[in-house]
Amino acid sequence: MQPNALVLGAIWYIVFLFSTTCHEGAHGLAAKLGGDLTAFHSGQVTLNPIPHIRREPFGTVLVPILSYLWGGWMIGWASAPYDPVWQRRYPRRAAWMALAGPAANLILVLLAGTAIRGGAMFGVFHAPTTATFTKIVEADANGGPAFAATLLSILFVLNLVLATFNLLPVPPLDGRTGITLFMSEDAALRFLELTQRFGFMGIFLAWVVFEKVFGFIFTLSLNLLYPGARYG
Residues catalogued as catalytic = 24
Q: Give 115's Cβ-side CA count (13 Å radius).
A: 20
Contacts of 145 (CB under 8 A, 6+ apart): 119, 124, 125, 139
Instruction: Give the integer Cα–Cα distance in Å for 39 and 226.
Output: 39
Helices (H), the chain: 3-33, 38-41, 49-55, 57, 63-71, 84-89, 91-121, 144-166, 174-178, 185-196, 201-225
User: Which among 156, 148, 174, 175 has a CA at the least distance from the CA of 19?
Assistant: 156
Task: Count CB atoms within 10 A of the CB of residue 42.
Answer: 16
Instruction: Give the integer Cα–Cα distance in Å for 2 and 15.
Output: 20
Cα four-point dihedral sign 64, 178, 79, 25: positive
Residue 135's DSSP bridge partners are 132
Instruction: Give the integer Cα–Cα distance in Å for 117 and 226.
Output: 8
